[in-house]
Amino acid sequence: MTDYQMLLQKFNNFKTFVASVSSNAKVIKDYETMTDSEFLLFGVAFLLPNTGKLDLIVTQMMTKLGITMEPDRDKLRRYLECFCEYLAQLNGQDVLQLSIANVVQQNITTKS
């Protein structure tokens, strides 16, 4: 399994985690419908440049998700750290290219 595939697998696990801990139905739906490409763009454009601010991001996400339990906070932080590590291993430009290729492939599959 490539780092890219592992990252996408972790993202799908993250969607399941959000659905299991969030009390906000709209946010759950937003994450469930987020495509791999949208997630990758979010990671490259927002998470990676703000790796040093993960505590603030976790706090904001907890509020948005309606998470109050400390173990859930810790797991959320571990997910974000994991995403940042994988994205850092992959060159940001490479991730964007893979994301674009993914969108093109989805469009071809949808039209077939």
Domain total in the chain: 1
Average pLDDT across the chain, whole number: 85
In a domain, 59, yes or no: yes
Confidence grade of residue 111 (pLDDT, cut at 50, 70, 90): low
pLDDT tens digits, 29-51: 999 999 888 888 888 888 888 99
The pLDDT score that the predictor gives to residue 20 is 95
In a domain, 73, yes or no: yes
Task: Please return the burial class of 7, using the count of CB atoms within 10 Å of its CB with bins 0-12, 13-18 and 19+.
Answer: buried
Cα within 13 Å of Cα(112), Cβ side: 6
More confident residue, 112 or 63: 63
In a domain, 81, yes or no: yes
In a domain, 37, yes or no: yes
In a domain, 28, yes or no: no
Domain that holds residue 66: 3-8+33-111
* Chain position carrying tokens 């603030």: 56
